[in-house]
Structure 1
Amino acid sequence: MYKNLKYLFISSLFFVACSEDIKEEVIAEDPLSKGSADFTKYVALGNSLTAGFSDNALFKAGQINAYPNLMAEKFAEVGGGSFTTPFTNDNVGGLLAGGLQIQGPRLVFYNGAPVPLNIAVPGSVPTTEIGVPLTGPFNNMGVPGAKSYHLVAPNYGNIAGLVNSTANPYFVRFRSSASTTILNDALAQNPTFFSLWIGNNDVLSYATSGGTGVDQSGNPNPATYGSNDISDPAMFNSVYNQMIDALTAAGRKGVVANIPSITSAPFFTTIPYNVRSLSGPQVAALNSGYAAYNGGLQLALSNNLITQAEFNARRIEFKQTPLLPSEDRNGFVIIDSNLTNLSVLGLPSLRHAVKGEYILFSSNGVSAQAHLAAGNGTQFPLTNNWVLTRNEVSKINIATTAFNNTIKAAAESKGLAFVDINSIMTKLSSTGIRFDNYHMSAQYAQGGVFSWDGIHITARANAYIANQFLEAIERTYGAKFNKFKPQDKPITYPSFLPN
């Protein structure tokens, strides 16, 4: 994060005579205004991003800096009412159920890597118990892990449903009753204004699992979905419009946002798809190790079990790479279940990863750096849960586009304010974005946007996102707000611990 000097340019400054005072033109700003909106009762619906989830956990400081809480600060300046949040008990993060830990503490950067807080600081354990629900209602209805259809699912806050994954522990903690829905608890407050940012998890869980789920396109029944599946776009369209119709009843106004491409997040882009450098002896040893596999491929080709194109794609051959351009370096060896099944010859489905495929930053709590250092991806192939192949990325992109088309169409049909988060995050991941005197980018650990989990955003990024929501509301409803500056929301909790 770099600060640039801010230069003050004064134009059209004239000295008429030594005896005359210098006259400066003062441009009056428009007064703060709610415009045609009413912020007396604002409710925010969404998932982990709405809740203030950060560093792979929900904790109090993250909730304080969540973008809806920040928006409510500015709404209060134009007549908005109070805004309540189901705060956790501490800044450790994690959850307990009957005294048993069911969600781990947040990540901190310690000894050169992001690790759970209780590893860096022994004795740091969660204290937030879900067994006794809080007394609401709460304006921030963001529920980490929620997908679109979960917002209208009865019993999503029933603790008994945790056993078969039909309930969510975060909603269990603050729902009004075991059988209610997130949407019903929001509507029961008679909101005058709402925000809705949902849909990320309808593709994200598939992506972060390395595509181990199923693309449910064409299946409109979410009761049959697995936790890592991609939601059916037609089902998403139906559920999303059901929610919008209910939220806009009686003329309520609101703001909605679309979802970003997964390629905006450093969880997917930090680890390159290819090996940075291999020495001559390393190359020789690797090629010797894969000689039998390549021989089996030749046999499959000779017997017309695979095409020449597939043979070329599957052949494992390493080159000495120090002088090669990055795009010509050896792709990691991966398992690709979409390849022709050659188990009859005793051959696994292996190939080199190629450009446009993504090695996940972590899987099942193991860091990619440690994983690759053990020889996985070279001596040993990376399993499916570590990689997003081009085929899997294509499924994600198709669904993301469909979901975003639904969101944009719903906003236009109801005259709602709309935030194009996808474009914002795309710019962050390419050129970066200037936020006052800070340059923010999607670079892991240094870009200032993403927390240690590589998915969720920092306090400062929440302030930027809050500004984008406020600007959309200004454009649509003629409101006028004060905006946040990056220095208003620095990191207010220790996310970095020295060695």
Structure 2
Amino acid sequence: MKKIIISTFAVSALLLTTGCNNDFDTDVKDIAVTKGDADFSKYIALGNSLTSGYRDGALYSSGQNESYPSMIAMQMSLAGGGAFKQPLMPNDVGGFNNLPGFSGKLTLQLVNGSVSPVPSAPAAALDNVSAGAPYQNMGVPGAKSYHLVAPGYGSQAGLLTGTANPYFVRFASSATTSVLADAMAQKPTFFSLWIGNNDVLLYATNGGTNSQTVGGVTTYTTATVQTGNTNPATYKSNDISDPNVVAGSIKGVLDGLKSVGTTKGVIANIPYVTSVPYFTTVPYNPLTPTTLGANLATLNASLYGPLKQALTAFGAGDRINLLSSTTSNPVLIKDVSLTDLSAQLTAALTPSLGLPTATAFGQIFGQARQSTKEDYILLTSSSVIGTTAPGAPAPVNVYGVSYPLQNQHVLTKTEAAYVKTAIDAYNGSIRSLADTYGLAFVDANAKMVDLNGQSGISFDGVKYTAKFVTGGAFSLDGVHLTGRGYAIVANEFIKSINGKYKSTLPQVNPNGYSGVKFP
């Protein structure tokens, strides 16, 4: 219950092959390589962590070397493509040891008989590689759509105020420039743009919350869906961006590139974030009768039964059911969208559980319910379920069992609906902009849906899915891809480029790139 356990059987599944349809069916590898109507002599890639080659929870050099833009550039070199430089990290671990919150990459390690992802210590301080500029891979981990057009996003001083990004600080041409301005200065002949994920992803991966740490204590507040607010300066870090802000920012990038003569390129839409392993690995109902053991009957008698009875009296009996002794049970969660019954439950339940009357019992269960299939338990919550909730009174102090997983641990069905609505709006605008500006379009959302399907996708007999660790496509952070996953993305870009510009760039072989490394 306290960690992600990867069995030997699951590891061996990586070696199995399958007879699924092969995505090389539309490849042009046997045709002479040509540029078609495009000019690949100076290609740049704009985007966020997915563009940079980020994986395993960090940006590190070997991961950058397997970024999808570097793969595309390699194929473009066969059709007149020029140099493609990346702002490589100084080591193969990543992280910044002089900045809080930037650990090194996750690695699988054998701990107490189980294999689990463990973060590495950050390997070096924040460096500056601007002397080697310009760089053609301009992917900036953590960047939202509006960050690409924000002056000062690469300012060292801005790190203290939260207006800058250390990954752009590393290679920005000046403290006042923007990502777009540095891209325009290169006057590229071709570009790729994949941005907008973080405008909704950070909300989702943080369970619809914003966090603040003061004096070593972290507090969480509900993140906001910024519909109707087109001033990003007022957004908190994990808020969902207004669709007009995303569309306007992307249009600003396209207009800026067009102003320097860059009119040909490829743009991708945003995948449904709930199709990645970060949201699909931990089941909503992990509490088995075996796991609960003798506590099951006690929990029903002392907590679940009285709680359901009280909630029924207040018209909310559907929030809780008795634990089953024959099937797996859902975890308890806090759902901030529910009517808060704190006062009512404090009065009704404190005596029945034998807790002191002064205990704010209702604060624990006022918005509690059992999870459903429409909720997403976050990957990181696997280390929380079954542990003791700090400060909670016994016997209601076991996370997910007798104490609700808090808002930051779960993306509820209400929050997931906000996420989907935003992505649909973003994608509608991205498709429209691709058509308006005459650009190649990549339906990245459809490809991620394919990966998340039961059959997955296949290359030369090797099957790839969105299953955590054993699926081969996603790295250990459950959000970003492996080298093989990025190769799958690269091929989608290549196919779209060929289709739009009549080029014949060959696809890459995902099987030739790295996947999850086992100890």
Is this a same-fold pair by TM over 0.5?
A: yes
What is the distance in 1 between the residues matched to 2:379 and 2:18? 35
Q: Tell me which residue corresponds to 2:378.
A: 360
Structure 1 position 259 matched with structure 2 position 241: no
What is the distance in 2 between the residues matched to 1:449 and 1:416? 27
Q: Within 5 Å, give how 1:66-81 maps onto structure 2.
A: 66-81=67-82
Q: Tell me which residue corresponds to 2:34.
A: 33
Structure 1 position 380 matched with structure 2 position 403: yes
Matched residues, number: 449
Contact 1:435 1:464 in 2 (8 A): no
Q: Select which of 286, 297, 305 maps to 1:284.
A: 297
Q: Within 5 Å, give how 1:167-178 maps onto structure 2.
A: 167-178=164-175
* Aligned residue identity for 2:336: S
- Per-residue CA deviations over 1:280-339 (Å, capped at 9, x if unaligned) read 73321111332443343244x2xxxxxx3xx13223421213xx4xxxx42211111111
What is the distance in 2 between the residues matched to 1:222 and 1:28? 45
Contact 1:90 1:128 in 2 (8 A): no
What is the distance in 2 between the residues matched to 1:178 and 1:32? 41
Structure 1 position 297 matched with structure 2 position 308: no
| Deviation of the 1:370 alpha carbon | 5.0
Match of 1:284, SS state, is helix
Contact 2:475 2:482 in 1 (8 A): yes
| Deviation of the 1:489 alpha carbon | 1.5
What is the distance in 2 between the residues matched to 1:205 and 1:158? 22
What is the distance in 2 between the residues matched to 1:320 and 1:395? 35
What is the distance in 2 between the residues matched to 1:81 and 1:159? 31
Structure 1 position 436 matched with structure 2 position 460: yes
What is the distance in 2 between the residues matched to 1:65 and 1:28? 20
Looking at CA atoms only, which structure, 1 or 2, has the larger radius of gyration?
1
Q: Tell me which residue corresponds to 2:152.
A: 155
What is the distance in 2 between the residues matched to 1:289 and 1:403? 47
- Per-residue CA deviations over 1:21-66 (Å, capped at 9, x if unaligned) read xxxxxx9943110001001111100000000000000000000000
Q: Within 5 Å, give how 1:124-143 maps onto structure 2.
A: 125-130=122-127, 133-143=130-140
Contact 2:149 2:252 in 1 (8 A): no
Q: Within 5 Å, give how 1:18-97 maps onto structure 2.
A: 29-97=30-98
What is the distance in 2 between the residues matched to 1:266 and 1:210? 15
Q: Select which of 113, 118, 126 maps to 2:116.
A: 113
Structure 1 position 184 matched with structure 2 position 181: yes
Q: Within 5 Å, give how 1:221-370 maps onto structure 2.
A: 221-249=231-259, 250=261, 252-279=263-290, 281-290=294-303, 291-299=305-313, 301=314, 308=315, 311-321=316-326, 324=327, 329-345=328-344, 346=346, 347=362, 348-362=366-380, 368-370=382-384
- Per-residue CA deviations over 1:315-373 (Å, capped at 9, x if unaligned) read 3421213xx4xxxx4221111111112222222211111111100001xxxx5145336
Identity of matched residues, %? 43
| Deviation of the 1:437 alpha carbon | 2.2
What is the distance in 2 between the residues matched to 1:194 and 1:350? 48
Contact 2:272 2:423 in 1 (8 A): yes
Q: Tell me which residue corresponds to 1:478.
A: 502
* Aligned residue identity for 1:454: G
Match of 1:114, SS state, is strand
What is the distance in 1 between the residues matched to 2:92 and 2:262? 39
Contact 2:128 2:171 in 1 (8 A): no
What is the distance in 2 between the residues matched to 1:171 and 1:448? 29
| Deviation of the 1:377 alpha carbon | 0.8
Q: Tell me which residue corresponds to 2:474.
A: 450
Q: Tell me which residue corresponds to 2:213.
A: none
Match of 1:166, SS state, is coil
| Deviation of the 1:5 alpha carbon | 8.4
Unpaired stretches in structure 2, ≥5 consecutive residues = 1-13, 20-27, 210-222, 347-361, 389-397
What is the distance in 2 between the residues matched to 1:5 and 1:166? 48
Deviates more, 1:55-64 or 1:127-136: 127-136
Quickly say closer, same or farther: Cα 1:335–1:150, change in 2 above 3 A.
same
| Deviation of the 1:240 alpha carbon | 1.4
* Aligned residue identity for 1:229: D
Match of 1:245, SS state, is helix
Contact 2:126 2:166 in 1 (8 A): no
Quickly say closer, same or farther: Cα 1:158–1:229, change in 2 above 3 A.
same
Contact 1:294 1:316 in 2 (8 A): yes
CA RMSD of aligned residues (A): 2.1
Match of 1:482, SS state, is coil
Contact 2:200 2:239 in 1 (8 A): yes
Q: Select which of 405, 410, 423 maps to 1:400.
A: 423
Match of 1:85, SS state, is coil
Quickly say closer, same or farther: Cα 1:192–1:28, change in 2 above 3 A.
closer
- Per-residue CA deviations over 1:362-399 (Å, capped at 9, x if unaligned) read 1xxxx514533654111221000011111000000000
What is the distance in 1 between the residues matched to 2:29 and 2:91? 44
What is the distance in 2 between the residues matched to 1:57 and 1:422? 23
* Aligned residue identity for 1:445: V
Match of 2:170, SS state, is helix
Unpaired stretches in structure 1, ≥5 consecutive residues = 7-26, 119-124, 302-307
